[in-house]
Structure 1
């Protein structure tokens, strides 16, 4: 969904985003920390990271598949050069269809991250604007449960906790944690307070919450996705050629307790994974 031709200046885009601030906060404030999505099918999208071209490919596929429900797993800005355009596009989608467009918070929906990883520079080193966007980010949902079956989050889990305990204010590890081949909860090289969790932790989390699968984002994969824990956890990444590299993007379609995977490249070649 390309932006209108007249939106070519970051100043114009920033003004549109600022104008949307009260609307977005109102919408996200009305949503719980953990969304319950029971309507199917659902298109699940991983990190975008300022890649408007990848977002356009994804939304074009959504239209072709006639999949009205779409769930974004976070990380809309930073790393790429069109974070403001991506943010405006997905906010416009949410405002136009709040019952079918779902936006989770990622670890890059954060002012401190934006200062270090590109969004702050992209938008003119505008402190007030960055803090305005941070105000929106803090109100976004943390996770989603699809049809009482699949738990979706940006990063990961922090133990065998009930999803009822998840809050927007205490969401750090859900935005940052990663799966690991090592059992248990272990420290992460990402930094202080960030953890890695093993298959035993994932199994316990799923059992406590009566769920069957986890879907997350947060890590770039050359093929666009990666399965963990004998198919109980799926990791998605939806930005092609990330940070100047060569990687495919991926998205998933959830329906009838099953996940169909699709990968795509920068030239819009789409392939369903068998």
Structure 2
């Protein structure tokens, strides 16, 4: 099961976990952004960390761009924890330990944000994680300037093709972008963007997660009151 941004939405997380049981999905991979801009980031983190401790071989937590102290200070989590600097420092140490990306089943590259060129996955490090946490797909070829800021890049279809070819991969799955339907396919099915937080900051969007069944990737949509 592949899960996009949660952003402190405990109801969404609980629904996804219930669906895991219904779908008999053993493994869960979360693409980052667990806190900020939602009311229950602490509860979300506790539940995710507990799951990881109970099932270390089945639960995988990637780092998102909101798994940083700087973002937490400006986007809500620091206020949620009562401006507790010691707690934020401790949780930041955990952020630093989270993996940046992973390759699923030998064919799917999973990351929060995106890629930084046609590089080999073996060159990705936690110390140079920024582009993998922040970059977005773009219709423009090459690497382009993003609306998120001058340090963030958009990566085009040619970059995706080169990256997949370099690494012998089939597709990229990423989070990071709020989407009306909760998911979006790019570049003729070579990239899937997932967002798993419904009604994000009042936008009224649906949410989605994906799971792999008999080798096929399937998507489930849900809203504020999931059925």
TM-score, normalised relative to structure 2 = 0.98
Aligned equivalent of 2:175: 217
**SS of equivalent residue, structure 1 residue 160:** coil
Aligned equivalent of 2:201: 243
1:88-99 alignment, distance < 5 Å: 88-99=46-57
Matched, 1:130 2:85: no
Structure 1: distance between partners of 2:10 and 2:3: 13
Aligned equivalent of 1:61: 19
Structure 2: distance between partners of 1:260 and 1:246: 23
Aligned equivalent of 1:227: 185
Structure 2: distance between partners of 1:134 and 1:182: 35
**SS of equivalent residue, structure 2 residue 210:** strand
**Match of residue 115, structure 2, among 157, 171, 182:** 157
Aligned equivalent of 2:8: 50
Give how far 1:256 is off: 4.6
Structure 2 unaligned runs (5+)?
A: none
4+ runs deviating over 3 angstroms? none
Structure 1: distance between partners of 2:150 and 2:44: 29
Structure 2: distance between partners of 1:232 and 1:188: 20
List per-residue Cα deviations over 1:238-268 (Å, max 9, x = no partner).
0011112211110001245421111011221
Paired residues of 1:77 and 1:86 also in contact (CA < 8 A): yes
Give how far 1:184 is off: 0.5
1:77-92 alignment, distance < 5 Å: 77-92=35-50
Matched, 1:172 2:172: no
Structure 1: distance between partners of 2:39 and 2:149: 25
Structure 2: distance between partners of 1:230 and 1:257: 18
**SS of equivalent residue, structure 1 residue 107:** coil
Q: Which structure is larger by alpha-carbon Rg, 1 or 2?
A: 1
Paired residues of 1:149 and 1:257 also in contact (CA < 8 A): no
Structure 2: distance between partners of 1:113 and 1:185: 24
Greater CA drift, 231-240 or 247-256: 247-256
Aligned equivalent of 2:152: 194
Paired residues of 1:156 and 1:177 also in contact (CA < 8 A): yes
Paired residues of 1:52 and 1:82 also in contact (CA < 8 A): yes
TM-score, normalised relative to structure 1 = 0.81
Aligned equivalent of 2:102: 144
Aligned equivalent of 1:204: 162
Aligned equivalent of 1:260: 218
**SS of equivalent residue, structure 2 residue 116:** coil
Structure 1: distance between partners of 2:197 and 2:225: 13
List per-residue Cα deviations over 1:14-46 (Å, max 9, x = no partner).
xxxxxxxxxxxxxxxxxxxxxxxxxxxxx0000
Number of aligned positions between the proteins: 227
